[in-house]
Structure 1
């Protein structure tokens, strides 16, 4: 049976799907809509994404898409490990600007569900790390946004020093949360 654990921010969950192993290998249902609806989790995913990072310290994030292309994300690691973070960016939320982080790895076989209204990012903890994630809306470049991973107001406790991180040009130029309009309001 799937295990679901609330990570302390509204709608952010760790999901551990069952893994059935024998001498041949293993089998796992990584998303079962019927089982997860029992926990109140109902998401229609429309796209799968896959990233590969050659080095430890690759930073991807903090990313989100504005409405109407906002995305729920289900993130898991196929190989290696990451420190994965979700940040509440819903204006008026009692937890606005708060973050939660979790280590995802191929060994733990865990996932994080990041709902709309949260920025998402991760840093790789091992070389040759592969991450796959499902999203509930197609990619839309005009709605794509980033927040600075090292925004001092967020004070995210990344396990890799900022000086050792490898960022894209987009992520290196991202603004702080206070300097952007996210398009999300708490209801």
Structure 2
């Protein structure tokens, strides 16, 4: 397992090692020791989620109040997604910036996301299946979103799928109606860099 920092501090791209033979493939997709080494603290798993999406379905940008926030460990076990991390931490040197990696059922990598960061992905083919471990359980009153099409964030969403066919983005009403980054900041709804540093989530 190879863990490398992404451009947004507090997010890492995990590359896995595969063991292939005539029967199929085996890999270790999550190792606590490797995750805790980069985090510098334990990653407690409180909930595991599974999301299945058609090509073009865009989910996010989602985040949780800090504290306690919600760290995530995300992989794609079927199909392919473009997985995006956005720095929503007011006061961060990379506030408003984003980075992305493709997660798929070939490379079988993962993304580790610290508390305070925003997360989104778009499915690049039908039946794309994302599995993610969360450090805290889902709590509706502290879960929030930023509009993934906000021109100030300017995420470069793909226009073609895994097979090269045109991709039409499909959002939930909740995500489409989510506030812009500037509106969320003005409303005091975003986590701060200082809050995340205090809980060791901003490295």
Q: Which runs of 4+ in 1 moved over 3 A?
A: 35-42
RMSD value, Cα: 1.6
Structure 2 residues without counterparts, runs of 5 or longer: 161-166, 195-203
1:49 is aligned to: 49
Distance 1:128-1:49 versus aligned 2 partners, 3 A rule: same
SS in 1 for 2:193: coil
How far off is 1:182 after superposition? 3.4
Deviation at 1:40, TM superposition (A): 4.3
Per the normalisation by structure 2, the TM-score is 0.85
8 A contact 1:19–1:27 mirrored in 2: yes
1:100 Cα deviation from its structure 2 partner? 0.5
Structure 1, gaps ≥5 residues long: none
What is the aligned partner in structure 2 of residue 5 from structure 1? 4
Tell me the CA shift for residue 38 of structure 1.
Answer: 3.6
1:186 aligns with 2:187: no
Count of aligned residue pairs for this structure pair: 184
CA contact (8 A) 1:6 1:12 kept: yes
Mean Cα displacement is larger for which, 71-80 or 33-42? 33-42
Q: Which has the larger displacement, 118-127 or 176-185?
A: 176-185
Equivalent residue number for residue 169 of structure 1: 173
Worse-matched range after superposition: 22-31 or 89-98: 22-31
How big is the shift at 1:152?
1.0
Question: Per the alignment, in what secondary structure is the counterpart of residue 84 of structure 2?
Answer: strand
- Superposed, 1:1-187 pairs within 5 Å as 2-40=1-39, 42-53=42-53, 55-160=54-159, 164-180=168-184, 181-187=188-194
CA–CA separation in structure 2 for the residues paired with 1:145 and 1:40: 24
Normalising by structure 1, we get a TM-score of 0.92
Partners of 1:132 and 1:104 lie apart in 2 by 11
Deviations 1:29-60 (A, max 9, x none): 2111123334445411211100111x210010
